Amino acid sequence: MMRQYELVDRVRRYNPATDEALLDSAYVYAMKAHGSQTRASGDPYFSHPLEVAAILTDLKLDDATIVAALLHDTIEDTKATRAEIGKKFGKDIATLVEGLTKIRKLDLVSKRAAQAENLRKLLLAIADDVRVLLVKLADRLHNMRTLHFVLEEKRSRIAEETLDIYAPLAGRMGMHDMREELEDLSFRQLQPDVYRSIESRLSSIREKNAGLIKGIEQELTSELAREGIKAKVRGREKRPYSIWKKMERKAVGFEQLSDLYGFRVVVGSIADCYAAVGIVHTKWPFVPGRFKDYISTPKQNDYRSLHTTVVGPGRQRVELQIRTQDMDRVAEYGIAAHALYKDSDKSNGEILPHDSNAYAWLRRTIEMLAEGSSPEEFLEHTKLELFHDQVFCFTPNGRLIALPRKATPIDFAYAVHTDVGNSAIGCKINGQVAPLVSELQTGDEVEIIRGDAKTPPAAWDAIVITGKARAAIRRATRSAVRAQYTGLGRRMVERAFAKASLPFSEEKLQAALPRLARHTTEDLFSSVGRAEIKPDDVLRAVDPEWRGERVTGAKTPKSEGGWFGLRRASSLKFRIPEKSKEEKTAAIPIRGINGELPVRFAPNGGAVPGDRIVGILTPGEGITIYPIHSPALKEYDDQPERWLDVRWDMEEAVPQRFPAQVGVTVKNVPGSLAQVATVIGEHGGNIDNIRMSGKSPDFTRMVIDVEVFDLKHLNAIITQLRAKKVVSAAERVNG
């Protein structure tokens, strides 16, 4: 176990101004607090926080973070308190330890909802100070290194959690070495046979190519030196998890992998980076399509480097990463490389990651917490952000937009601004009009074409890749749906007031809100529209003395009046009387499924303008529109409170199509279906679906879902169908 002076020496190597007394005090305090506690391995428990602190010294972190690592389990596992730690070590360290204590209570591998909620808590805990995450990652790394001491039934859970959450987080924070070790340790636990197989093959290749890495290092260094570039070249073998992921991604076997070695070339300046690429490409042939410039377009976690692959010495494929010393430091330590030491009376440093893109991503992700409607949705968004590689695209004015691979112009639009995404109707990629579902490639210039609409299609939710776009689409959809229900509820309440001969007043509604358990009139209208509150309940809340009949959607809800009388009259072929002007004014106007109300049409038969219609209110689903003669209305005879008086309110300048069903009986001759489809198409109908409902040796019965503009249009199509010799019968169908 590491001694006090050894820990102090490790810190002093990179921070000569370290507060030795503070480190010594924390060492002694933690050791005494944990006392005789032991780990699953049988080692003293204090060895764990000490190893966590040692990992953080490799990242060259400040005194406060090292002390927090030493103390991170004291509040949870010993008699130590936050107040005591604050008094002895200061508020800053006490806050860090408390944040780590909260995270430790999480169980990230659990039911999906719990896992999602705990990820929210994890990110909230690190929102104010990213050092909490750095200590937690180091804590997890040491736990993974000692995972073999844990009970067998717990190992896979911990490894899955590490691979699912902590390794991607380390990668997003730019800490690539830590991410790779976490991935490998998890991989070894979760797929031991695959891990051993890859490790065995690497071992045999290692023996076969003994000295290859060293030879390439020397040759690269010499070649660059001859051209006046001083460089440090370090080669290494790829890790088993990285190899396995590449095999899985490219669907190839181990034998087909030719680039098992990677080399880092560290030079003195950015100019040397580009010069080195030129020298390497001149000396050895490079592999087309494998050059990437992350210096001019850095990754979102601040990673900068030039990547290329060449066929190097011995015809061996060699991956090269060429970077400066500063770039190498960020690539190795990630966000930890942004540790800055303040000159102040306090000797412990403070991390100021204000210039870190990785930290900016973290803050944006945390901001999304307030926008997600559920923990599961947030987990989905965050994992999308964690696991995708990136492409880099440009706006027409040259702004760089980084997106996940397979992102679409819709994702691009939302990355520019939420309003741009909500109003997007088309796009141009590199000057050419392209579908909004196109997959973007690095270097694409994307121009978004906008319209007047402010609500995106709900179907986009299944198309987009980024969490931001998905959250914005769902938020806009929820707002639009709420607006529809609010509009419906307002009309229902206004109509109820009119039928009760009571003056409608929002001021009166406002005063009645407490009795209806709603905060705003918008909440009230939305609840009425969703059928959570009945309009007559609103009337009673506004005017307790009102004792009218239950509002049913009819002016005379007697046995032979209202919609019941109309239905019976229709079924007996009596003439349906025209509505009075007052009735038309009171009825709720219907403009189709794209209007301001939550409307859908009867599933079997639909309804079209020209039909006398009735609305059936379904809680949480809105209004279903039926023709008054629909047999399906019988099942609502005993639910008068669900019947709504509705009317068509169409705009001639904006024609819409509406669903209907046509039953057609045709002769069994070749081409009969084609003739039916041709008639419908030539007369402006749109076929949605065709079902064969019965077949005999001579005739076939089919039911066709067709979209038409109105009743006149539908009747014209039916008339033309009946005129065909192959058609025995054609009529409208209503379920």
- Dihedrals phi, psi of 75, to nearest 5 degrees: -65, -40
- Tokens linked to 315: 């015809």
CA–CA separation, 538 and 513 (whole Å): 9
**3-class SS of residue 433:** strand
CA–CA separation, 422 and 413 (whole Å): 8
Helices (H) and strands (E) in the chain, counts: 29, 22
**3-class SS of residue 372:** coil
CA–CA separation, 258 and 261 (whole Å): 9
The pairing of strands 646-648 and 622-627 is: unpaired
Q: Which of 6, 76, 549, 560 is catalytic?
A: 76
What sign does the CA torsion over 407, 412, 414, 420 have? Answer: negative
CA–CA separation, 267 and 277 (whole Å): 11
CA–CA separation, 467 and 378 (whole Å): 8
Q: Please say if 707 is a catalytic residue.
A: no
CA distances from 514 to 511, 524, 537, 538, 542 (A): 7, 11, 13, 11, 11
CA–CA separation, 168 and 176 (whole Å): 10
Cβ–Cβ < 8 Å for 508, 493: no
Amino acid at position 564, single letter = F
Q: DSSP string spanning 617-674?
A: EETTTEEEEEETT-GGGGGGTT-GGGEE-EEE---TTS---EEEEEEEEEES-TTHHH
Amino acid at position 599, single letter = V
Side-chain-side CA neighbours of 464 within 13 Å: the count stands at: 28
Q: Please say if 76 is a catalytic residue.
A: yes
Q: Which of 20, 24, 43, 77 is catalytic?
A: 77
C-alpha radius of gyration, the chain, whole number: 35
CA–CA separation, 566 and 571 (whole Å): 9
Encode 458-493: b = buried (16+ Cβ within 10 Å), e = exposed: eebeeebbbbbbbbbbbebbeebbbbbbbbbbbbbb
Of 350, 352, 381, nearest to 364 (Cα)? 381
Strand order, beta sheet including 613-618: 599-601, 622-627, 613-618, 643-644
**3-class SS of residue 436:** coil
CA–CA separation, 168 and 364 (whole Å): 16
Going by C-beta distance under 8 Å and a sequence separation of 6 or more, which residues neighbour residue 113? 375, 376
Q: Which residues are catalytic?
A: 76-77
